[in-house]
A = this chain, B = another copy of it.
């Protein structure tokens, strides 16, 4: 591994000049610059990131904290964030929270010592701001860049990049109602999830718009995974609840609901229409194909990169969603 000193010697300049050429800061004569550059190439020099980090006070990796990388929403996000960060010379340190608040705190606690340039928090779990808030502020005070993805924390001073939630759900449910698919049930996580509540509110708003009262028996509060969707829907079906559509809080849930409906011999969408939320990969390939609400991880990643690149960016960015009409509704 060649060092700046090797480059400096070969180019016949001092290490300071090498550093200046490489960083682009400070004035360097054309002749010297040329020689440095060719020495860099000749030695295949790559600056040692740890030394740079030690000197600068922070490294060149951003910590991405995701709720659960195994869920497609997060893996798709991760992919785009990694690409976007790579574009501005930043690496990605991945931390899987596994939806654990304790783990989140531990990681936040260790972030400065880790040499992270910043932290991107991507979880929709409701955060205990009493403990997380101070930690986040502490990080910012240490000079770390902090960004929230999917959850609005801009009031807490954390720039946030989120998707539209309530209005998107509202439009989807309105579509169901207009298509004569009522009564419409809601399947999703109401508490514990920062976005779950918003989505439910969109459902409630759409019913309100249509002058329909909310039927508590048609609102199922569950976790986000497949099994939860399957069970809740099965229970409702077996209990003889009357509904002709289900708006789900996630695609996983929607798939679970579809399985429950199909297992009981009902047809989708004729007997029961289903709309998911999140447009994960396989939704279009299931039969019937899942009608769902879009996500735009690339747009999110682009905005997140803006923040880490130090580019001007709004404290709150809201990415729009659209209804993806496919076979299930």
**Chain A contacts to B: CB under 8 angstroms:** 1, 46-51, 53-54, 59, 61, 64, 68-70, 72, 74-76, 78-79, 82-83, 91-96, 98, 109-110, 112-115, 142, 226, 230, 252, 255-256, 258-259, 262-263, 281-282, 284-287, 289
| Across the A-B interface, the 10 shortest Cβ-Cβ residue pairs | A46-B113, A75-B75, A50-B53, A50-B115, A94-B94, A50-B54, A262-B287, A226-B285, A69-B79, A50-B50
Known contacts A75-B75, A92-B95, A93-B93; 17 additional CB pairs below 8 A are A1-B142, A48-B113, A48-B115, A49-B115, A50-B54, A50-B59, A61-B93, A70-B79, A72-B72, A79-B98, A83-B96, A83-B98, A91-B114, A92-B93, A259-B286, A259-B289, A282-B282
CA–CA, A127 to B155, complex, Å? 48
Is the CB–CB distance between B91 and A91 below 8 Å?
A: no
Interface of A is mostly: helix
Residues of B with C-beta under 8 A to A113: 1, 46-49
What residue of chain B has the Cβ atom nearest to residue A52's Cβ?
B50
What residue of chain B has the Cβ atom nearest to residue A83's Cβ?
B96
Residues of B with C-beta under 8 A to A46: 109-110, 112-113
Taking the nearest CB of chain B, how far is it from the CB of A68, in angstroms? 7
Taking the nearest CB of chain B, how far is it from the CB of A171, in angstroms? 26
Taking the nearest CB of chain B, how far is it from the CB of A265, in angstroms? 11
Residues of B with C-beta under 8 A to A98: 79, 83
Residues of B with C-beta under 8 A to A142: 1
What residue of chain B has the Cβ atom nearest to residue A103's Cβ?
B86
Name the residue in A48, A74, A282 with the highest tally of chain B Cβ atoms < 10 Å from its Cβ: A282
